[in-house]
Structure 1
Amino acid sequence: MKNLTPQQAWAWLQAEREQRVARGEEPPLFVDVRMEIESLYVGRPPGVENIPWYEYPDLTPDPLRFAAAVEQEAGDKDRPILLICRSGKRTLDAGKALESAGFSDVSHVVHGFEGELNEDFKRSSINGWRHDGLPWEQM
C-alpha cells in the first residue's frame, strides 16, 4: 500500500484521473472509509465514494464485506483505489483487507481528512486533508 500525504494524494488523483480518462479507463476510485454520518456531517473531499470500514451500531469491521463492496463499486481489482478516513488509521486496516482480497493498486491518505490530535485534543490543526486547504464539502 502506498502512503500519500494529502497534497500528494490530491495531485496523484488529479493526474491519474486525467491520464486514465484520456485512455478510456475508469479513473481511480476514491473511497471514504468513515461511517456515513462522519463523511456527511464532518465533511469530505469532492467525488469520494463512502464505503464504511465499519458502521454504527456494531462498530466492528468486516473485511470481507468491505472488500466485496469496494470491488462492486470499482468493477475491477486492478483499478487504483485511494482510501481516506479521519486520521489515516482505519485506512491502514482497510487497505490491508483490500490487498488480501487481491486489489493490486491501493493507496491511503496519511493523516486522513482531519489529521492528528493537537495538545488540546482538537483535529485539523496539525495536518490532514482539511488542514492542508484541499477541496472539501459538507452537508
Structure 2
Amino acid sequence: MTADPDPIRPADGYAGDVTPQTAYDWWRSGEGVVIDIRSDAEREWVGFVPGAPAVAWKQWPGMAPNPEFDEQLRAAVPPGRKALLLCRSGVRSIAAARRATELGLEAYNILEGFEGDRDEHGHRGTRGGWRHRGLPWGQN
C-alpha cells in the first residue's frame, strides 16, 4: 500500500478529508486515532476496526444523538493527536468532525467510510471504504 500523494482534501469546518489509507497510515504512525463513530449495531453486524475506539455519533434504534459523544471523544484522543473519524460511508463523520473541531481537536473525516458507496445493485462494500481497501477489520 502506498501513501496518498494528496493526503488532505480541503473541508469546511474541520481539518480536512482523508482517504482510508492516509487515515490508517497516520494511525499506525501514532499521528492520529481512528474513531469509529458508527452505532453499536453497525459495528456488531457489519464489522469493526480492531483497536479503534467506539464513540457513537448516533445510536440505534432511532439514530438518537449520543449525549456522551463529547466526553467520550475527548477521552479517546490524546493531546496532540489527530481525530480520524470513521462512519459507514463518510457522511455522518463530517458532522462528527465539525463537532470535534468545535471541541478543539484536529479532526478529519475518513472518505468512503467503513463500507463505501453503494454499487449498481444498491449494496455497499464493493465501491471503496475501509474494508474494501483491505485495511484491518474484524467481524463478530
Smaller-chain TM-score bracket? 0.7 to 0.9
| Cα distance in 2, alignment partners of residues 125 and 75 from structure 1 | 33
Equivalent position of 2:91 in the other structure: 89
| Cα distance in 1, alignment partners of residues 26 and 72 from structure 2 | 23
Equivalent position of 1:7 in the other structure: 21
Q: Shift of the alpha carbon at 1:75?
A: 5.1
Q: Shift of the alpha carbon at 1:81?
A: 1.0
> Can you give the 5+ residue segments of structure 1 that lack an aligned partner in the other structure?
18-26
| Cα distance in 2, alignment partners of residues 36 and 68 from structure 1 | 17
Within the candidate set 73, 77, 82, 1:74 is matched to: 77
Q: Shift of the alpha carbon at 1:92?
A: 0.1
4+ runs of 1 displaced by more than 4 Å? none
What TM-score comes out, normalization by structure 1 length?
Answer: 0.81
| Cα distance in 1, alignment partners of residues 127 and 60 from structure 2 | 28
1:1-139 alignment, distance < 5 Å: 1-15=15-29, 17=30, 28-61=32-65, 65-74=68-77, 76=79, 78-103=80-105, 105-139=106-140
Native 8 Å contact 2:27 2:33 kept in 1: no
Native 8 Å contact 2:88 2:115 kept in 1: yes
Q: What SS does the aligned partner of 1:70 have?
A: helix
Amino acid of the structure 2 residue aligned with 1:10: Y
Percent of aligned positions that are identical = 33
| Cα distance in 1, alignment partners of residues 130 and 76 from structure 2 | 23
Q: State the aligned residue count.
A: 126
| Cα distance in 1, alignment partners of residues 128 and 95 from structure 2 | 20
What TM-score comes out, normalization by structure 2 length?
Answer: 0.81
Q: 1:29 to 1:10 in 2, by over 3 A?
A: closer
Q: What is the CA deviation profile of residues 8-33 of structure 1, one whole-angstrom value per residue up to 9, with x for unaligned ones? A: 21122212x2xxxxxxxxx6332100
Which of the pair is proportionally richer in helix?
1
